[in-house]
Amino acid sequence: MAYPVWDDLPWSAGLPAAVEDVRTAITGLRRHPANRTGWPRTAAAASVRAARASAALDGAPLMLDAQAEVVTDPVVAGALRVAAGIGSLTAIWARSPLQALARLHTLAAADLVGPADLGRPRARDPGVGARLAGLAQLISAASWPAPVQVAVVHGELLATAPFGSADGVVARGAARLTMMSTALDPAGLAVPEVAHLRSGARYWELIDELGTGRASAAGGWVLEVCRCLVAGAREGMSIADAAV
């Protein structure tokens, strides 16, 4: 799979305005009265909503059995574990992203693969290691605006599918981790995962295009992620409104 061309993204047409729209939307979300003092409650609700949408993007049922004492769907259970574990990884992400990714996969795929495969990239494809190393370097060195970093992490992990199991949940968890660790949305109040779910087939079509390595495909993906971050802020507003 070809490397997407990321280098010229900050100067792509329409991207500066899209980045500013994201910042404005999330700043408004953070200033909501319910999020000024009661943000732990709204952040927890946003985290669960994000996990359910992320699992649904990988084919899990969106509706949960309210009477069930435990979550039986392995994808949903993994997404919920990832949601619960992200907070402890924010400090690790910038300095050791591969360690954080291994932990995300261990959480996401615990009910899908054996213990020996948890946190381990696909060994049969030598290109996977190079892609992950390249991504780690991008995370550590890139000076892009935070929304662009979120898009690059999300897109690279989806396009690479480095683990061969739970890759979608890991990619969206890493995107959320980036959103929080870059201080774009440190409490995780926005829910862009819902917007990605609502985009339907377009989500996967854009990832297929991203795999071609064309700069236009990379630019289109980043603009889509920015759109979903703005929509995710609106989703977060609905959570905050209900909490007042």
The answer as to whether 63 is a domain residue is no
Is residue 51 included in any domain, yes or no?
yes
In a domain, 66, yes or no: no
Write the CATH number for 186: 1.10.3290
Predicted confidence (pLDDT) at residue 34 exceeds the cutoff of 80: yes
Lowest mean pLDDT among 133-137, 188-192, 223-227: 133-137
Dump pLDDT digits (tens) for 122-152: 877 778 988 899 899 888 877 789 999 999 9
Nearest partner of 19 among 237, 230, 235, judged by Cα: 230
Q: Does residue 64 sit within a domain? A: no
pTM for this prediction: 0.94
Can you spell out the DSSP letters for the chain?
A: -PPP--TTGGGSTTHHHHHHHHHHHHHHHHTSHHHHH-HHHHHHHHHHHHHHHHHHHTT--SS--TT-SS---HHHHHHHHHHHHGGGGHHHHTT-HHHHHHHHHHHHTTTTS-GGGTT---SS-HHHHHHHHHHHHHHHH----HHHHHHHHHHHHHHH--SSSSHHHHHHHHHHHHHHHTTSSTT----HHHHHHHTTHHHHHHHHHHTTT-HHHHHHHHHHHHHHHHHHHHHHHHHHHHH-
pLDDT at 11: 72
Q: How confident is the model at residue 92 (pLDDT cuts 50, 70, 90)?
A: very high
Residue 203 covered by a domain: yes
Q: Residue 158 domain-assigned?
A: yes
Q: Mean of the per-residue pLDDT values for the chain?
A: 91
Whether 225 is covered by a domain: the verdict is yes
How far, in Å, CA of 240 to CA of 242, rounded?
5
Give the number of domains in the chain. Answer: 1
Residue-range definition of the domain harbouring residue 26: 9-57+73-243
pLDDT category of residue 238 using cuts at 50, 70 and 90: very high
Residue 1: per-residue pLDDT? 45
Q: Both tokens of residue 109?
A: 């795929």
Q: What percent of the chain is predicted at pLDDT more than 70?
A: 94
User: According to the model, what pLDDT value does residue 213 have?
Assistant: 78
From CA 149, how far away is CA 154, in angstroms rounded?
8
Residue 179 has pLDDT above 60, yes or no: yes
Domain assignment of residue 62, yes or no? no
Q: Is the model's pLDDT at 67 over the cut of 80?
A: no
Whether residue 25 has pLDDT greater than 70: yes
